[in-house]
Amino acid sequence: MTQLPLGVRLRDSATFAAFEPGSNGTALAWLRARCGAAGADRAWLWGAAGSGRTHLLEAACHAAEEAGQRAIYLTPEVVAAAPEAALEGLEYCSLVALDDCGRVAGQRDVEFALFDLCNRLGERGGMLLLAADAPPLTYPWLLADLASRLAAATVFRLHALDDAGKLAALQRRARLRGLELPAATARFILGRADRHPEALFRLLDDLDEASLAAQRRLTIPFVRGLIGRQAAP
């Protein structure tokens, strides 16, 4: 087990390396190849909550920054607060990521601002990366011009991880932290804890800290004790 200084949590979550591809290998490979590369591009990632949309958007921003480029991650709330002001000048970013973007459909001001940004980014060669829970044309866009531009994006459907995928994801995250998470322990966790990926990764954070504090390996008895304490009222 790797020793970590107390009070420091590893920020391993929002990178491509921490993403367990499952059946989303094409989207991951495409993003790895395009983020940080030059040239205008537009991609639309869609899938149910927990399928890794936000992770990939944040990882793309991280990758762009690593490549020396400027990137920004936006949510509908940030954009809707001041559509034109929030998106102004973002064509000078190499990557603009807008999460949960289906929620801006039907908001005229936001659609106009987004349409304008699409054009500006296209002219300057930047990438627009969008995530939503459905494909582009299933939303009630008011601007046909925006809808057609979004429909021209490279669209990827993201599928939530199955149990085998979640097991691999847990082990991948643990490995990135220098933790050894035996398959039997990972299966034990999956059998007893909330299996939503976010909840699982939060549990891994807790296990990481607890194992460090107790100087124990992630054995089933140790994990059982922690899950038991968390479940206790």
Site of interaction with other proteins (CB under 8 A) = 8-9, 11, 13-14, 25-26, 29-30, 58, 61, 65, 70-75, 78, 82, 84-93, 97, 112, 115-116, 119-120, 122-123, 135, 137-138, 144-145, 147-149, 151-157
Residue nearer to other proteins on the CB measure, 151 or 190 = 151
Q: Report the nearest approach of other proteins to the CB of residue 166 (Å).
A: 20
Report yes or no: 168 and 21 within 8 Å, Cβ to Cβ. Answer: no
Report yes or no: 85 and 113 within 8 Å, Cβ to Cβ. Answer: no
Q: Report the nearest approach of other proteins to the CB of residue 70 (Å).
A: 6
Residue nearer to other proteins on the CB measure, 75 or 219 = 75
Residue nearer to other proteins on the CB measure, 125 or 228 = 125
Q: Report the nearest approach of other proteins to the CB of residue 34 (Å).
A: 9
Q: How far apart are CA 44 and CA 129, in angstroms?
A: 6
Residue nearer to other proteins on the CB measure, 159 or 217 = 159
Q: Tell me whether strands 95-98 and 154-157 are parallel, antiparallel or unpaired.
A: unpaired
Q: Report the nearest approach of other proteins to the CB of residue 119 (Å).
A: 5
Report yes or no: 63 and 36 within 8 Å, Cβ to Cβ. Answer: yes
Q: Would you state the structure tokens that stand for residue 77, as one six-digit string?
A: 């709330």
Q: How far apart are CA 165 and CA 128, in angstroms?
A: 28
Residue nearer to other proteins on the CB measure, 119 or 219 = 119
Comparing CA positions, the residue from 42, 111, 50 lying closest to residue 76 is: 111
Q: Report the nearest approach of other proteins to the CB of residue 107 (Å).
A: 16
Q: How far apart are CA 226 and CA 228, in angstroms?
A: 5
